[in-house]
């Protein structure tokens, strides 16, 4: 019994010694400066863009129990769960476009291939309340622009 106790104590002491001397951590702090400017401003006005046309995109989906979303239609066509094409929108200003509407914007980009900028104008939500769920149709109107040469 004593030999087992000596073995356990020496094993614990050896493990403690090996883990306590694992290594050192050194941090060197130096001042640095960036050689690139902090802000680069590009002044653009609406005169720098050419209006192409308006486009309407829409999605229809159902919600069940407030948490389960089932996409039904994109721009009047049945939604594919296997092929997911979307257009990512970004910029400095907050013009949120929901992920389902980003999938619908893909068709608008295919329809207007020379458009460089889509600006959301209006978003209309039509909601039909049902028992334990909703049927939602979202319609987004965007304006397509390209930059002047």
pLDDT at 78: 93
Least confident of 29-33, 86-90, 119-123, 145-149: 29-33
Per the CB < 8 A criterion, the answer to whether 112 and 55 are in contact is yes
Sign of CA dihedral 9, 11, 17, 19: negative
Percent of the chain with pLDDT over 70: 85
pLDDT tens by residue, 21-71? 555 555 555 555 666 777 888 888 889 999 999 999 999 999 999 889 999
Span 115-132, mean pLDDT?
A: 90
> Residue 59 burial by CB count (10 A; 0-12/13-18/19+): exposed, middle or buried?
buried
**Helices H, strands E: what count in the chain?**
2, 5
pTM for the structure as a whole: 0.66
- DSSP letters for 80-121: PSS---------SS-----HHHHHHHHHHHHHSTT--EEEEE
Domain boundaries along the sequence of the chain: 50-147
Q: Is the pLDDT of residue 127 over 70?
A: yes
pLDDT at 136: 94
């Amino acid at each position: 019994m004593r030999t087992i106790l000596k073995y356990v104590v020496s094993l614990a002491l050896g493990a403690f010694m090996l883990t306590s001397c694992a290594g050192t951590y050194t941090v060197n702090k130096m001042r640095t400066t960036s050689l690139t400017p902090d802000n680069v401003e590009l002044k653009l006005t609406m005169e720098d863009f050419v209006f192409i046309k308006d486009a309407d995109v829409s999605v229809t989906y159902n919600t069940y129990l407030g948490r389960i979303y089932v996409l039904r239609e994109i721009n009047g066509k049945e939604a594919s769960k296997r092929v997911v094409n979307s257009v990512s929108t970004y910029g400095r200003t907050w013009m949120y476009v929901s992920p389902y509407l980003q999938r619908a914007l893909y068709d608008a980009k295919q329809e207007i291939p020379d458009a460089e900028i889509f600006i959301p104008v209006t978003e209309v939500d039509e909601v039909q309340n049902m028992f334990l769920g909703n049927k939602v149709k979202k319609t987004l109107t965007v304006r397509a622009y390209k930059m002047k040469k």
